[in-house]
Structure 1
Amino acid sequence: MSAFLPGAAVEIKEVKEIISYRYKDAKGNPIPFRFKPISTERIEELEKECTTYKKLKGQGRVRELDTQRFAARMAIETTVFPNFKSKQFREEYKTQDPVEVAKKVLCVGGEYTRWIEKANDLNGFGDDETLEEMAKNS
């Protein structure tokens, strides 16, 4: 039981990952993104924010989750760097929506998909080995 008490779990620190090879530092090296998992409570909040309800004839009120928006919002919250929520980014890309900023920065489809997949993995929605490796490396 003690392994499940507060403070017993291994905290997963920030993880670096190359998402795009188009953005490079002064030495010409790709700039890694930094990620950190978010809490279950925050994931639930994001899910609620991305859920709508529709009345369908014969079915009553039906819940509809915008899965693409949910995945992107979770990736926004999981990404420590670059901070797509920053005022500077939103002003430069002329949008208040951090998801739209991310889509513009990661305009190559594979980059955007890689970013979403990394956030999913870090939050336990991907390969269990990813979380296991992160815990070992923390």
Structure 2
Amino acid sequence: MTENHENTFENQEENKVVANDITFFMPGNFEEAEVVESPISKRFKDNEGKIIPFRFKPLSTERVDEIEELNQKTVRQKGKILGRETDFARFIAHVAVETTIYPNFKDEKFRQAYGTQDPIEIAKKVLNVAGEYSNWIAKISEVNGFDDTIDELEEAAKN
């Protein structure tokens, strides 16, 4: 074998070992989810006139599963239980509230100011321009990885 061919073979073998090494997936060996900042509306500005970004932290799969369970309702027909279905609009809004760490729509001051205990209703009142609410939902989808396509993930893995 030529030296160049041997190096290629060694690199392939090294990549196989790395690709099959499960230690990368063990606790403490992968990146923790980071807080993401993003402006959602031009209407919210600080004292200097700068747009105030919202802050988001991705939810765990377990928490999303819990939220889905909380937003299910029993489906009945003629008195018989047919099963359960998720109220998707309420589910995604609940995920958005839980993902948003600033502003905290669950804050007691918000509840008093907006006259409701429901943080989803508070978010709708704060983000009362339809595009703002849509921007917020789109951002939490992105932050939680719901928008990642397999093609994008494969491309990122190549780099």
Q: TM-score, normalised by structure 2?
A: 0.77
Task: Establish whether residue 78 from structure 1 lines up as the match of residue 99 from structure 2.
Answer: yes
Counterpart of 2:51 (choices 30, 43, 66) is 30
Counterpart of 2:145 (choices 124, 127, 132) is 124
Superposed CA RMSD in Å reads 1.9
Q: Deviations over 1:32-85 (max 9, x none)?
A: 00000011111011000100111235x852221110000000000000100000
Alignment of 1:48-127 (within 5 A): 48-56=69-77, 60-127=81-148
Contact 2:74 2:81 in 1 (8 A): no
- Give the drift of 1:11: 1.2
Q: 1:7 maps to what in 2? A: 28
Structure 2: distance between partners of 1:98 and 1:3? 38
- The structure carrying a bigger helix percent of its residues is 2
Q: Which has the higher contact order (CA 8 A, sep 6+)?
A: 1
Contact 1:53 1:63 in 2 (8 A): yes
Unaligned runs of 5+ in 1: 134-138
Counterpart of 2:38 (choices 7, 12, 17) is 17
Q: TM-score, normalised by structure 1?
A: 0.88
**Same amino acid, percent of matched pairs:** 50
Rg (Cα) greater in structure: 2
Structure 2: distance between partners of 1:60 and 1:38? 31
Structure 1: distance between partners of 2:29 and 2:92? 29
Unaligned runs of 5+ in 2: 1-21
